[in-house]
Amino acid sequence: MAPRVRTAFDTVESGPLGSCRKFVARPLLSLVRSTASIGIVLIVTAVCHLILRVNPTTAALTYVVVVLLAASGWGVVEATAAAVVATLCLNAFFMPPVGTLAIADPHNWVALAAFLATGIVASQLSARARRQTIEALDRQRDLERLYALSRALLLSDGRPTMAAAIARHVADAFECTSVAVFDQRADGVSWLGSAHAPALEQGLREVARHGATLTDGPMLIVAIRLGGTPIGSLAIPKGDWSDTVVQSIASLAAIGLERARGLEAAARAEAAQESGQLRATILDALAHEFKTPLTSMKAAAADLRANISDDRNRELAAIIDEGLERLQSLVTDAVSMVRVDAGDFSLRPGLHRVSDLVARALRQFEARLDGHDVVTSVPDGLSVQADRELVGLALRQLLDNAVKYSPPNSVIEIGAARGDTVDITVRNSGAPIPEHEQGRVFERFYRGAQARRLPGTGMGLAIVRQIADAHHGAVRVRSAPGAGTEVVISLPWEGDRT
């Protein structure tokens, strides 16, 4: 049930003196009502005995009505008091000998006892029905308020923050003068009403940390849990709250906080996608601007090589030509990587021999091998359904990693084999990747401890994984001391396609 609105007097009553006042006030109210019910019985007795002069049966039925009214209007204590006094009045004024508490006929004792039992039982049943009705109305009111709260949270725009919106909606739905919500992720407390804010902020943080309910002080503080894990805490004024209502409010607050986080993540993902598309567009334009002078410079370098007879100048022209070729390849790969990262690509699968894909990637990457020898072991008849350009990009990224993280002039191995899938493996003899890092090397921008010492963006293996996923394949890494590091791309072979 919702608490009543707190006032300045309620603040005083929260201390020991206030507890004594409440302890005294409730019995006093019951005493007043019991006195009133007895007074009503005496009035009915006077009317029936002095004015109407009714018989004992009519008087007894009238008393029963009074007892039932007292039970339904006030409670069982007041009704029981009325039943006892009514029994005495029925004996004294309506059963012979009239005017005394004695009973001449023994059968009247049975009637009197039956009347007393009927009055008490009727009062009990009426009071129970009243309590059940009040509880049903309270539950209905709680459900209506919880529905209003859930609807408000669902339609909330989370301004200025979702925690502040939750505090405002809880206060509106349950008529609270002060509510506080602590969001553990944002590490901030949002208050509606600041009477107890400084004193309870530490309590809010402790409840969110340990998940226990705090009942000390003027506010009730409960944990906001999601999946059993505390993600914040909620402070509401103490009152006649049922545990079900308190936990329901906390659950709705958890849903509100998680919904806000989901919307925030979706907004970030959309912004990242738009940013990736913008990067791809800009880089595509820059690549076009780069390729035009690169093509002209490459043609000029080739013409110089053909028309220079001096060996030294011809060698310099060859170096220029190789540098331009490498720069052109880097620009092309950079544009392709940004497009793959932004999801701005379409798969163009075809049936290709794995040996041709590997040979093509080696030709394009040859200028960047930096003295490393490459040993290939690929069966001639092995084919896959794949996009030649994307698989080539993935192989070049794996070769680039192998060159970076292996010793100078070491051997890089490329192999392929067929099982349930076609597995293409690129292996280097560099330092092993720690086991705790192997599960994260395919994350965007992640760079391990040894990778941070070398230039790079942490995007290469993430691009390889996206390309493998686009082919309904997978990628994995195997690394151990003395065995080097190998990355395996698994692609469906042509027998898996229909």
* Fold assignment, 346-496: Heat Shock Protein 90 (3.30.565)
- Whole-number pLDDT of residue 190: 84
Domain formed by 156-241, architecture: 2-Layer Sandwich (3.30)
- Whole-number pLDDT of residue 101: 75
- Whole-number pLDDT of residue 449: 57
Confidence of residue 16 (pLDDT cuts 50, 70, 90): very low
What would the pLDDT profile of 219-251 be if each residue is shown by its tens digit? 888 999 888 888 889 888 888 788 888 888 888
Mean pLDDT of 47-52: 88
Whether 123 has a pLDDT exceeding 50, the answer reads: yes
Among 42-46, 76-80, 319-323, the least confident range: 319-323
Mean pLDDT of 366-371: 79
What would the pLDDT profile of 277-316 be if each residue is shown by its tens digit? 666 666 666 666 666 777 777 777 777 777 777 777 777 7
Whether 355 has a pLDDT exceeding 70, the answer reads: yes
Whether 80 has a pLDDT exceeding 80, the answer reads: yes
SS3 for the chain is CCCCCCCHHHHHHCCHHHHHHHHHHHHHHHHHHHHHHHHHHHHHHHHHHHHHCCCHHHHHHHHHHHHHHHHHHCCHHHHHHHHHHHHHHHHHHCCCCCCCCCCCCHHHHHHHHHHHHHHHHHHHHHHHHHHHHHHHHHHHHHHHHHHHHHHHHHHCCCCCCHHHHHHHHHHHHHCCCCEEEEECCCCEEEEECCCCHHHHHHHHHHHHHHCCCECCCCEEEEEEEECCEEEEEEEEECCCCCHHHHHHHHHHHHHHHHHHHHHHHHHHHHHHHHHHHHHHHHHHHHHHHHHHHHHHHHHHHHHHHHHCCCHHHHHHHHHHHHHHHHHHHHHHHHHHHHHHHHCCCCCCCEEEEHHHHHHHHHHHHHHHCCCCEEEEECCCCCEEEECHHHHHHHHHHHHHHHHHHCCCCCEEEEEEEECCCEEEEEEECCCCCCHHHHCCCCCCCCCCCCHHHCCCCCCHHHHHHHHHHHCCCEEEEEEECCCEEEEEEEECEHHHCC
The top-scoring range by mean pLDDT among 115-129, 137-151, 190-204 is 137-151
Mean pLDDT of 199-215: 83
Confidence of residue 1 (pLDDT cuts 50, 70, 90): very low
